[in-house]
Amino acid sequence: MGKRITIDVAGGSFAAYLATPSANARGTAIVVIQEIFGINADMRQTCDDFASQGFVAICPDLYWRQEPNVELTDKTEVEWKKALALYSAFDVDKGVADLDATIQTARKQQGVTGGVGTVGYCLGGLLAFLTATRTNADAAVSYYGVGIDKHLAEASKQTAPLLMHIAEDDEFVPPEARATIIEAMRGRPKVEIHTYPGCMHAFARNDGVHYNADAAKAANARTLAFFQAMQ
């Protein structure tokens, strides 16, 4: 079980869910970046799972400027409508700034003596990509990021190692966008791309509508190995 902490930034403060390892601490941390549903059970479980592997894991509330403490699922139309409305009004640049603050907070957590990586899903997949270009994150993992094709001009600024998981049947990322992303990023130094045939968006969402156990297991194993190599 994790706990709630508060992160202060210019103009206010926001909550974050913090999970810490009870054993076999690695000395490294992971910033878990939410989907469009806020810090829900899926995000908390994801943090807890990373903590069980020895990482400090922290998930910030990126909707705090719009509505603090949003917690939605993908199970009802009402929740989808609210999530999509929040997503449409979300300020990406301010979100990346909040993530930068979260990365610096993670570096100050007890027991963190090494690198801090980021991992994001959906909206968070885009934001994870941007942490590799705009912040001092030591590694970044993007799961089925939405909107990355609109930010590829920033690819040349990528400094952190970047792992990308791309669903081949992602209904929120058209085939042309997926092809553009892969073409732009493949061959770049420190970029690793994996595609998942037959998988729809959010194939790794815990208890999600489109959860694919085999693909999620493969992607999560690659992510774990990627972060285990982080210094």
Q: What is the pLDDT along the chain (231 residues), one digit of tens a residue?
A: 699 999 999 989 999 999 999 888 999 999 999 999 999 999 999 999 999 999 999 999 999 999 999 999 999 999 999 999 999 999 999 999 999 999 999 999 999 999 999 999 999 999 999 999 999 999 999 999 999 999 999 999 999 999 999 999 999 999 999 999 999 998 899 999 999 999 999 999 999 999 999 999 999 999 999 999 997
Residues with catalytic roles: 170, 201
CATH number, position 53? 3.40.50.1820
For 159, residues 6+ apart whose C-beta sits below 8 A from its C-beta are: 132, 133
Check residue 73 and give its pLDDT. 96
**Tokens describing residue 176:** 């042309």
For 157, residues 6+ apart whose C-beta sits below 8 A from its C-beta are: 133, 134
Check residue 87 and give its pLDDT. 97
- Nearest-5° Cα angle at 129, 127 to 131: 70
Check residue 231 and give its pLDDT. 76
**Rounded to whole angstroms, how far apart are CA atoms 164 and 132?**
11
Overall domain count for the chain: 1
Check residue 24 and give its pLDDT. 87
Overall residue count recorded for the chain in this entry:
231
Judging by DSSP bridges, how do beta strands 12-19 and 3-9 pair with one another?
antiparallel
Q: What are the beta bridge partners of residue 116?
A: 29
Check residue 187 and give its pLDDT. 87
Does the predicted TM-score (pTM) go above 0.95?
Answer: yes
The CB density around residue 34, as the number of other CB atoms within 10 Å, is 25
Can you give the residue range of the structural domain that contains 33? Answer: 3-228
The answer to whether 120 and 33 are in contact (CB under 8 A) is: yes
